[in-house]
Structure 1
Amino acid sequence: MQVRINGKPQDGLTPRVARRLIPRRGPPAVEGVVMDGDAVMAATRRGSLVLLGVIGALAAAINIAVLVGVATHEPRTLTFVAPVVVAVLVGLAVLLPIAFRRRLARMEQRLATLLPQIPPAGATVLASDQGLSVNGRLTAWDQLTVDAVDIVRVSSGEGDTSWYIDTLWLAEAGAPARSRGIVLDAAAIAGGRKLVDYVWRRLAPAA
């Protein structure tokens, strides 16, 4: 099984990461619908605006709180602190739009590679105890293996690290050698995050 974390090839999954990727509990079945490129980009824009908006609002609130606190309790240092706070806020106003554009550009690059591989737009993908169904074609779990997995690692300011599955490449037993198998991408499927987690829980190799 090929493993990539944040786009970089890995020798494999460590037991710790493998355990963190498997949900402790999951629904009995998960269904999703493959989106077209425009819908994926629209969802990415919305999600990016919300995420970066929250980050910007929190950062601005913290800096304003610092400024108010200094003005209330240490007014003599205000002439030093105020320019620093203003510089931070200006920096946020410059960097957040750049981060937004970069997120969209990365998604466009990702879609250029994935769209020819994933099921067609509008296809229904259903994962259940019976197996994985793509547009009504059911494949039992014992006929599927994970050929490759793309994982995203996200580190928080508190030192916590989370891992999320972005894309799964599945191989079917008995399929021709040149077959591309089944490719599932969390961002390209409505409900894709829960779907890829469910599939990984069923097919992940033992840690």
Structure 2
Amino acid sequence: MLHYIYPVLIVSTLLVGLFNREKIKGKIIFSLLYFLFFSVLVEVSGPLISKFLDIKSFFVYNTYFLVSILFYNYLFKAYLTSKKTKKTLNLLTIGYVLFIVLNHFLMQDYYHSFQTNSAIYSGIFAIIAVGAYYFESLNSDKVLYAKKSLLFWVSLGLLLFQIGIIPIYIFAEYLNFSGIFDYILLTLNFILYGCMMIGFVVSERAHN
């Protein structure tokens, strides 16, 4: 039952974004709407593939992590000024692609298992990207109007989500999370997309 909530949550975020699209029209952050649409497709297609095609849909979610790291690399680089930091993010992204391949052949099959190792890598990348964005913001006048920036709210939700989910990925095989994992994941998703919705509403075009 809980898995039905995720598409509704993401669609709600997408609709709030579309309603406030004039604030981000023509801006790099507008690409977030496309990413949200892709996220909806993932959440809808995953269960449908398993149910109607009778095949494992792990590859759908593993592909999501690949697309997400490419998206966040593109998004945060657009708002960073340090060439060194941008280069670091590019190298980490290339490293992620190589890691997926190695993980597939050596540990977790891309098509038949959920690649928790890749998910952890993706999460660490997101934290690094957010950290770089915050560091630059704190050393510029961006910090003065951070709450009016959609990227601030996106980065806040992303940071809180990854801080919460990475430990679960790491310790899931050692601890029994079966009873509460779904609720923890749901709570983290509400935080992630809740922050995005707040950002769409309170942000101002001049600061996006």
TM-score, normalised to structure 2's length? 0.27
- Which entry has the higher C-alpha Rg, 1 or 2? 1
Question: Bigger relative contact order, structure 1 or 2, given CA contacts below 8 A and separation 6+?
Answer: 1
More strand by share: 1
More helix by share: 2
